[in-house]
Copies of this chain bind each other. A is one copy, B any other.
Amino acid sequence: MEHYTNVRPASNRTRGLTHASPAEVSLQAALDALGDPVRRRIVRELAGEPDWARACGTFAHLRVAKSTLSHHFGVLRQVGLLEQRDEGTRRLNRLRRAEFDERFPGLLTLVVEEPEGA
């Protein structure tokens, strides 16, 4: 495993990830991303914890295939809802709540407050 200084905390793997800014995202893309119940569940779980507290590996309880989970994370990144960075072998997550709220006022709140299993 490589070692990174504070000056460049992101690994090559993380730098290869595509991150979109919510400002560039269409309403269609946002609705498509949040139209999936597993992605809304991921968003809700992240909203309940501090930034960067959750690694991708901690979502195994959602009982979806790893490749599917990875696809969901990719969709959330592409609509500017999710930021990811690697720390050692873990990929950490941050919900870009303020930025997304500014672009789509009210939308994330509806998702976060949705009752589980609804």
Contact = CB atoms under 8 A, between A and B. Distances in A.
Interface of A: 26-28, 31-32, 34-35, 37, 40, 104-107, 109-111, 114, 118
Contacts of A107: 106-107, 110
Contacts of A35: 28, 31-32, 35
A32 B31 CA distance: 8
Contacts of A40: 27
Given A27-B114, A28-B37, A106-B109, 20 more contacts: A26-B118, A27-B40, A27-B110, A27-B118, A28-B35, A28-B118, A31-B31, A31-B34, A31-B35, A35-B35, A104-B106, A104-B110, A105-B106, A105-B109, A105-B110, A106-B106, A106-B107, A106-B110, A107-B107, A107-B110
Contacts of A28: 35, 37, 118
- Which residue of A26, A104, A110 has the most chain B CB atoms within 10 A of its CB atom? A110
